[in-house]
Structure 1
Amino acid sequence: MKRAIYPGSFDPVTNGHLDVVERARKLFDEVIVAVAHNDEKQPLFPLKERLDLLQQTVGKIDNVRVAQFDGLLVEFALQQKANAVIRGLRAVSDFEFEFQMALMNRKLEGNVETIFLMPKEEYTYLSSRLVKEIARLGGDVSNFVPSLVASFRSWRRRAFAAWDRCNTGSTSEFRKARFGQMVRSNNRSS
């Protein structure tokens, strides 16, 4: 069985990510969308939400599975009996970093190949970072993310507004403000 890992933070998952998943699933018997858990990063979407959103957007596709991983990607690939890692390349600027990572992964484990896939042209400019910035500034992200992710937009905008009010950039204050906004929003909808 040809199995591939498509790793990323997916914070949030974008239409570009979905395009790469669609391309990869045509090449492999199974594609595992692997959500990276990194304690050093402070994602906008908590790990559980990212897993849930991916499960609801790609997890129902026949040969696609969603999983979480910690640690070295090549070790996770071996645990999953995957022989390839899928990486999306949007532009030449992505290549230098991805090439370096592919060579390091090959050095760590020669039996896991890296496959580079380019998204459709309409997604070559798209990144999670840009989507978050657009949302933070109150823009419409519905053309860039799955509808399920776009539906989170309104409280995400409030979360960023709360972060701006903190005016410190402090992660702990941002998390408290964001959590308070989510709780208030959930209480109103109950």
Structure 2
Amino acid sequence: MRRAVCSGSFDPVTLGHVDIFERASRMFDELIICVFRNEAKRGFFPVEQRVELIREAVKHLPNVQVTSFSSLITDFMIQHDAKVIVRGVRSVKDLEYEENEAYMIRHLQSDIDTVFLLTRPDLSYVSSSGVREVFHFGGSVHGLVPECVEQAMMNWQTDGEERK
């Protein structure tokens, strides 16, 4: 079985992420999306909510599962018998960063390979940080995130909470 992992913070998950998930799900028998739990940083959405939002966004992909983790990605991959990590790349800047990450993963676990998927040109400007900024200043995130995420952001806005 060809199993791959796609990891990240996905805070929030964007249509660019979903496109990468869809394409990777066609390339592998099973795709595990794992949301990284960074204990040192407070996210826009809690990790558990990000997992649920991604599950909703990829429910049409039968060979995809979504979970979270807080250890080294190599440890997660060993536990799940996965040998490929999938990374979406929007630009040369992303590629430089991801290349270094791939080398570190290879150093830690020599039998894990990284596959880079180029973001569709029409989504290359979409990033989680950009979505958060647009939302923070009252702009529309429609067409940038899945409908479930847009709704969750609108619900968050009406809750009156303040996040940093």
The TM-score bracket by the shorter chain reads over 0.9
Larger relative contact order (CA 8 Å, sep ≥ 6): 2
Aligned partner of residue 44 in structure 2, secondary structure: coil
Mapped to 2, the partners of 1:153 and 1:79 lie a distance apart of 33
The Cα shift of 1:93 comes to: 0.7
Asked if structure 2 preserves the Cα contact closer than 8 Å seen for 1:32 and 1:67, the reply is yes
Q: Which has the larger radius of gyration?
A: 1
What do the CA deviations read for 1:93-114 (whole angstroms, capped 9, x no partner)? 1111111110010010011100
Partner of 1:153: 153
TM-score (norm 2): 0.94
The amino acid that maps onto 2:142 is: S
Asked if structure 2 preserves the Cα contact closer than 8 Å seen for 1:5 and 1:31, the reply is yes
Partner of 1:2: 2
Instruction: For 1:168-179, list aligned pairs within 5 A.
Output: 174=163
The Cα shift of 1:60 comes to: 4.7
Partner of 2:79: 79
Mapped to 2, the partners of 1:60 and 1:81 lie a distance apart of 24
Mapped to 2, the partners of 1:162 and 1:34 lie a distance apart of 27
Partner of 2:99: 99
Runs of 4+ in 1 over 3 A off after TM superposition: 155-159
The amino acid that maps onto 1:24 is: A
The Cα shift of 1:154 comes to: 2.5
Could you list the runs of 5+ residues in structure 1 that have no partner in the other structure?
A: 164-173, 176-190
Aligned partner of residue 71 in structure 2, secondary structure: coil
Give the paired residue count.
164
Could you list the runs of 5+ residues in structure 2 that have no partner in the other structure?
A: none
Matched, 1:26 2:26: yes
Instruction: For 1:47-58, list aligned pairs within 5 A.
Output: 47-58=47-58
Partner of 2:64: 64
Aligned partner of residue 65 in structure 1, secondary structure: strand
Asked if structure 1 preserves the Cα contact closer than 8 Å seen for 2:33 and 2:64, the reply is yes
The Cα shift of 1:153 comes to: 2.7
Partner of 1:132: 132
TM-score (norm 1): 0.82
Identical amino acids, percent of aligned pairs: 37
